[in-house]
Structure 1
């Protein structure tokens, strides 16, 4: 039964992102500022840090594909970037201490890396004409601020849940 709770949590976060975008005003950080909630991806990164690289990459690939199918017109960007950034975060965490503050900072770094990766792919295939500095000012800063607030609220519960999940998997 406990094995089904993790996919349900990720599915809930996947749905919560879209609900949040629909219900919260878009100009919360001011006009011409775009913030993007990455609740699901934050959970993938915390799963990678506290539950194991293998599970983070698998869940990243599955939910990256689901994200591409539902929300984007280009399949494969999030399918590639979610597990890739999870892998990079896992490698970074092998070097750094594994505590909640470091996980918070590394997760924000991962979210920023995801945003930049999506921007670069969109720029490469000419989906966007926005300059990089405009992108940073309009989207990166509000997105990182918004997700930092979310991680301050959800980071510790994620840590506890994924540590417990990892322990259950080791005991089996």
Structure 2
């Protein structure tokens, strides 16, 4: 049963993102702002930081593919960016010490990299035509604020959950 806890958590976060977009009013945080929740990706980065690089990248690839299949017309954007940013986060951890503040900063920077990467890919293939400055004000800052709040609220519970997961993996 413990083996299914992590995939179920990530699936729940995947569904929670969809529910957030569907049920939270668009003008809640101001007129004409676009807010993209990346709760799943934040949890994937926490998995990479607190458990292992290998597990984090594998889950990131699986859920990146799922994200592309469900939400995006083009398969490959999230399939590439989720594991790539998780890999970069693991490499940054080789330089820095692993603690709460570093984990929070790496996760927020990872979400920022994901957002900019998705914008650049969309701009490259002409899915979006807004300029970068408008994108920063319209989507980047509001998205980063929402996800930073999520990261600050969930860092401790997710760390505890991932520590229990590691203990269960060692016991097997």
Secondary structure class of the residue paired with 1:35: coil
Tell me the secondary structure at the aligned position of residue 37 of structure 2.
coil
How many angstroms apart in 2 are the aligned matches of 1:111 and 1:52? 19
Aligned to 1:42: 42
Q: Is the 8 A contact 1:52 1:166 kept in 2?
A: no
- Aligned-residue CA RMSD (Å): 0.9
- Which structure 1 segments of 5+ residues have no match? none
| Cα shift at 1:109 | 0.2
Matches of 2:171 and 2:136, distance apart in 1: 44
| Distance in structure 2 (CA, Å) of the matches to 1:11 and 1:81 | 18
Instruction: Measure, in 2, the Cα distance between the counterparts of 1:135 and 1:97.
Output: 33
1:136 maps to which residue?
A: 136
Deviation at 1:147, TM superposition (A): 0.6
Gaps of 5+ in 2: none
Work out whether 1:90 is the aligned partner of 2:90.
yes
* Paired positions, count: 172
Q: Deviations 1:45-69 (Å, cap 9, x if unpaired)?
A: 0000001000100000000000000
1:72-92: CA deviation from partner (whole Å, max 9, x where unpaired): 111110000000000000111
Question: Which residue matches 2:118?
Answer: 118
Structure 1 segments of 4+ aligned residues over 4 angstroms from their partners? none
TM-score by length of 1: 0.97
